[in-house]
């Protein structure tokens, strides 16, 4: 992006799609709309679009809610893209409590007002809805409230989603940002639009579901399909600017799958647990919620681990670890590689295999954050817990991403893909999926490929499996 003349509030030149997005949202405001959505894939610059909008509209008091890892990303975005002296307070976990975050936000807003400059408060979702920040935020008059990665608030009954709905009432304009606006189903959009513009889908989730979902299954409580989707899409896009990867000039990407077979002991344990789960599914004794634990146990077994009744984790197989070693050995020893895993024991396996192949490895997870060291070149292999590496992370140092195990969230999976294949990537990207044949691994991959709700899709497959 080239510098702009000093007269403009922008420091960088927006890409064409960014200018279009900002113009679209500004037009919504001119038409009297209270909110809008930017549904743009990762790497298209949603944060830059937001900064451009704030600078051009002259917003003075802005609140941005986002995942914790993204909180510190916003300050440099305002500095990079705007000449306006925004006072940005990033309330991350360096503050010891939610009360201290509230106090700092209040102090910075007062200071910004005294200096005559606009204020931006950035806070993570899990802190925003808590006392005393929530009560303070609901008493402010915000020119703009931004819900970044708004798909995190898709559950209508979730505390963050319900707080967003309350917050909408004290915002002059609301903006939702997401690269995966429907990560599981069309019903995901209700929670967003209750915040963005409640007039579009109303305030009753039950009425919304009755209109767009087909119910069936056990006690008629399971969603078996959808209807009136043309109407839903028309309403969704009535206040949404959308753009895909086609606006980016990116290198090619490809997906490959490498399969292994579990050993005799792991197969025996897996089949026993699978038969019990299938029997419960077919009898209607189990729902998606309480099936999750058993599906997780099945998935752990494919990685070679089983949890005993006393809670201990025991290694019973090495087939997938062996497969990972074979894949790594086919790559140059200094080739940067990201290995995505779901469980800590899978992360441990990735480190062990990297060591066996003579490679150093680092980690990005809930227990370690070695991302800067990996970017600095201290090790070629980065073992990433998929939920930790899915948001606000640039992994373009690597062109190879190996999926040792997958989560059940389509949104997290698609975000992880986009951390490798995004602006800054100069080489063709290869995603390598490791699966144990005839197991839940294959079912999860199939559900993700269909963009289906993973847990329900896997249970439906099991119900029909002979």
The verdict on pTM exceeding 0.75 is no
Q: How many CB atoms lie within 10 A of CB 19?
A: 13
pLDDT, one tens digit per residue, over 80-114 is 999 999 999 999 989 999 999 999 999 999 999 99
Q: What are the two backbone dihedrals, phi and then psi, of residue 190, each rounded to the nearest 5 degrees?
A: -60, -50
Q: Which domains does the chain have, with CATH numbers?
A: 16-246 (3.40.50.10810), 253-464 (3.40.50.300)
Distance of CA 348 to the CA centre of its chain: 23
Q: Are 270 and 319 in contact (CB under 8 A)?
A: no
pLDDT band, very low/low/confident/very high, at 2 (cuts 50, 70, 90): very low
Cα–Cα dist 53/438, whole Å? 50
- pLDDT at site 463: 66
Q: What are the two backbone dihedrals, phi and then psi, of residue 216, each rounded to the nearest 5 degrees?
A: -170, -155
Cα 11 to Cα 1, 58, 203: the distances in Å are 9, 15, 40
Give me the mean pLDDT over the 193-218 stretch. 91
- Which 3 state secondary structure label does DSSP give 332? coil
Structure tokens at 102: 């509230």
Give me the mean pLDDT over the 146-161 stretch. 91
pLDDT, one tens digit per residue, over 319-354 is 999 999 999 998 999 999 999 999 999 999 999 999
Q: How many Cα atoms within 13 Å fall on the side-chain side of residue 337?
A: 27
Element (H, E) at 70: none
Higher pLDDT residue, 268 or 423? 268
Structure tokens at 340: 């995505």
- pLDDT at site 464: 62
pLDDT at 287 over 70: no
């Amino acid at each position: 992006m080239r510098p702009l003349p000093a007269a403009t509030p922008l420091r960088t030149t927006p890409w064409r799609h960014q200018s279009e997005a900002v113009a679209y949202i500004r037009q919504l405001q001119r038409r009297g709309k209270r909110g809008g959505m930017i549904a743009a894939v990762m790497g298209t610059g949603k944060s830059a679009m937001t900064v451009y909008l704030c600078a051009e509209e002259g917003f003075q008091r802005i609140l941005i809610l986002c995942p914790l890892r993204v909180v510190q990303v916003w300050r440099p975005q305002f500095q990079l893209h705007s000449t306006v002296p925004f006072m940005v307070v990033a309330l991350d976990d360096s503050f010891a409590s939610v009360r201290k975050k509230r106090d700092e936000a209040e102090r910075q807003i007062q200071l910004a007002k005294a200096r005559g400059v606009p204020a931006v408060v950035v806070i993570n979702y899990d802190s925003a809805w808590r006392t005393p920040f929530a009560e303070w935020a609901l008493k402010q008059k915000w020119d703009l409230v931004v819900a970044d990665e708004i798909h995190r608030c898709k559950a209508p009954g979730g505390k963050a989603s319900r707080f967003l709905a309350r917050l909408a009432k004290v915002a002059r304009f609301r903006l939702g940002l997401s690269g995966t606006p429907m990560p599981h189903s069309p019903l995901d959009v209700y929670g967003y639009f209750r915040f963005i513009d409640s007039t579009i889908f109303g305030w009753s989730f039950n009425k919304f579901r009755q209109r767009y979902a087909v119910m069936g299954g056990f006690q008629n409580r399971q969603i078996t399909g959808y209807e009136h989707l043309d109407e839903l899409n028309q309403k969704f896009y009535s206040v949404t600017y959308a753009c895909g990867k086609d606006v980016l000039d990116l290198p090619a990407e490809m997906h490959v799958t490498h399969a292994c077979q579990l050993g005799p002991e792991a197969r025996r344990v897996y089949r026993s647990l699978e038969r019990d789960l299938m029997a419960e599914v077919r009898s209607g004794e189990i729902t998606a919620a309480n099936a999750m634990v058993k599906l997780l146990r099945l998935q752990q077994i494919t990685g070679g681990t089983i949890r005993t009744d006393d809670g201990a984790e025991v290694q019973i197989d090495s087939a997938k670890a062996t497969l990972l070693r074979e894949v790594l050995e086919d790559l140059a020893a200094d080739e940067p590689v990201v290995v995505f895993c779901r469980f800590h024991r899978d992360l441990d396996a990735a480190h062990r295999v990297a060591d066996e192949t003579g490679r150093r490895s680092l980690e990005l997870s809930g227990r370690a954050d070695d991302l800067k060291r990996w970017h600095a070149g201290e090790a070629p292999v980065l073992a990433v817990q998929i939920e930790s590496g899915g948001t606000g992370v640039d992994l373009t140092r690597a062109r190879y991403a190996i999926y040792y195990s997958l989560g059940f969230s389509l949104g997290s999976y698609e975000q992880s893909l986009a951390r490798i294949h995004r602006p800054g990537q100069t080489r063709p990207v290869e995603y390598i999926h490791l699966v144990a044949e005839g197991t839940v691994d294959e079912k999860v991959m199939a559900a993700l490929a269909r963009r289906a709700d993973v847990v329900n899709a896997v249970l439906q497959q099991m119900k029909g499996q002979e």
